[in-house]
Amino acid sequence: MKPSAPSASSRAELTLRGLVIGIVITVVFTAANVFFGLKAGLTFATSIPAAVISMAILRAMKNSTIQENNIVQTVASAAGTLSSIIFVLPGMIMIGWWADFPFWTSFAICALGGILGVMYSIPLRRALVTDTDLPYPEGLACAEVLKVGTGDDADAGSAEESRAGLLAVLWGSIVSAVFAVVVATQVFASDFVRNFRVNDKGAVSGFDFNLSFALFAIGHLVGLSVGIAMLIGAVIGWGWGVPHYSVLGDMSQSVADLANGTWSHKVRFVGAGAIGVSAIWTLAKLVKPVITGLTSAMAASRVRKAGNADSLPRTERDIPIGIVGLITLACFVPIAWLLGYFGSISGLGDQVAVLAIGGVAFVVLMGFFVSTVCGYMAGLIGSSNSPLSGVGILVVIAAALLLVAFVKPHVSPEEGKALVAFALFITSVVFTVAAIANNNLQDLKTGQLVDATPWRQQVALVIGVIAGAAVIPPVLNLLNKAYGFVGVAGVGAHALPAPQAGLISALAQGVITNNIDWSLIITGIGIGVGIIVIDEILARTTRNMRVPPLAVGLGIYLPTVSTLMVVVGSVVGWLFDRRADRRSKKPEATKQLGVLLASGLIVGESVMGVVIAFIVGFSGKAAPLALVGESFGDAAQWIGGIAFVVLVAVMYRWIARMGQGTSAR
Q: What is the pLDDT of residues 607-637, one digit of tens each?
A: 777 677 667 666 767 678 888 877 787 888 8
Confidence of residue 153 (pLDDT cuts 50, 70, 90): very low
**pLDDT for residue 8 is more than 60:** no
**pLDDT for residue 43 is more than 80:** no
Q: Percent of the chain having pLDDT more than 70? A: 81
H helices, E strands: number in the chain:
23, 2
Confidence of residue 158 (pLDDT cuts 50, 70, 90): very low
Q: What is the pLDDT of residues 353-363, one digit of tens each?
A: 888 888 889 98
List of residues 6+ apart from 52 with CB closer than 8 A: 145, 149, 173, 603, 607
Confidence of residue 512 (pLDDT cuts 50, 70, 90): confident
CA gap 354, 408 in Å, rounded: 12
Burial pattern 630-647, b for ≥16 Cβ within 10 A else e, equals: eeeeeebbeebbebbeeb
**pLDDT for residue 137 is more than 60:** yes
- The pLDDT assigned to 311 comes to 56
Confidence of residue 42 (pLDDT cuts 50, 70, 90): low
Confidence of residue 240 (pLDDT cuts 50, 70, 90): very high
Bridge partners for 192 per DSSP: 209
Q: Judge contact between 541 and 551, C-beta under 8 A.
A: no
Mean pLDDT, range 157-184, rounded to an integer: 78
**pLDDT for residue 641 is more than 60:** yes
Q: What is the pLDDT of residues 192-239, one digit of tens each?
A: 888 888 887 888 888 888 888 888 987 887 788 888 988 999 999 999
Q: What is the pLDDT of residues 11-26, one digit of tens each?
A: 677 788 888 888 888 8
- The pLDDT assigned to 107 comes to 93
CB-based burial label for 241 (10 Å; 0-12, 13-18, 19+): buried
- The pLDDT assigned to 648 comes to 93
Amino acid at 284: A
Confidence of residue 644 (pLDDT cuts 50, 70, 90): very high
- The pLDDT assigned to 370 comes to 78
* Cα distances (Å, whole numbers) of residue 525 to 270, 392, 397: 8, 17, 15
Helical segments of 306-415, H only: 321-345, 352-381, 388-406
Burial pattern 265-276, b for ≥16 Cβ within 10 A else e, equals: ebbbbbbbbbbb
**pLDDT for residue 657 is more than 70:** yes
Angular region, 317: left φ>0, alpha ψ -120 to 50, beta rest: beta
**pLDDT for residue 572 is more than 90:** yes
Mean pLDDT, range 175-203, rounded to an integer: 86
Q: Judge contact between 551 and 380, C-beta under 8 A.
A: yes
**pLDDT for residue 529 is more than 90:** yes
CA gap 353, 432 in Å, rounded: 23
CA gap 515, 143 in Å, rounded: 47
- The pLDDT assigned to 425 comes to 87
Closest by CA to 653, choosing from 222, 162, 171, is 171
Q: pLDDT: is 53 or 74 the higher one?
A: 74
Residue 484 C-alpha from the chain's centroid: 25
Q: Judge contact between 640 and 134, C-beta under 8 A.
A: no
Q: Percent of the chain having pLDDT more than 90? A: 10
**pLDDT for residue 305 is more than 60:** no
**pLDDT for residue 448 is more than 90:** no
Confidence of residue 150 (pLDDT cuts 50, 70, 90): low
Q: Judge contact between 36 and 45, C-beta under 8 A.
A: no
Q: pLDDT: is 650 or 515 the higher one?
A: 650
- The pLDDT assigned to 291 comes to 65
Residue 101 C-alpha from the chain's centroid: 24
Closest by CA to 462, choosing from 75, 17, 49, 104, is 75
Rounded to 5, what percent of the chain is helix, strand, coil? 75, 0, 20
Which stretch of 242-246, 592-596, 606-610 has the lowest confidence by average pLDDT?
606-610
**pLDDT for residue 300 is more than 60:** no
DSSP 3-state of 193: strand
Q: What is the pTM of this model?
A: 0.69
Q: What is the pLDDT of residues 259-278, one digit of tens each?
A: 888 887 888 888 878 877 88
**pLDDT for residue 332 is more than 60:** yes
List of residues 6+ apart from 19 with CB closer than 8 A: 71, 75, 460, 463
Q: pLDDT: is 447 or 639 the higher one?
A: 639
Question: CB atoms < 10 A from the CB of 381, how many?
Answer: 32
Q: What angle is formed at CA 9 by the lines to CA 73 and CA 116, rounded to 5 degrees?
A: 45
CA gap 468, 29 in Å, rounded: 9
CA gap 540, 527 in Å, rounded: 20
Angular region, 558: left φ>0, alpha ψ -120 to 50, beta rest: beta
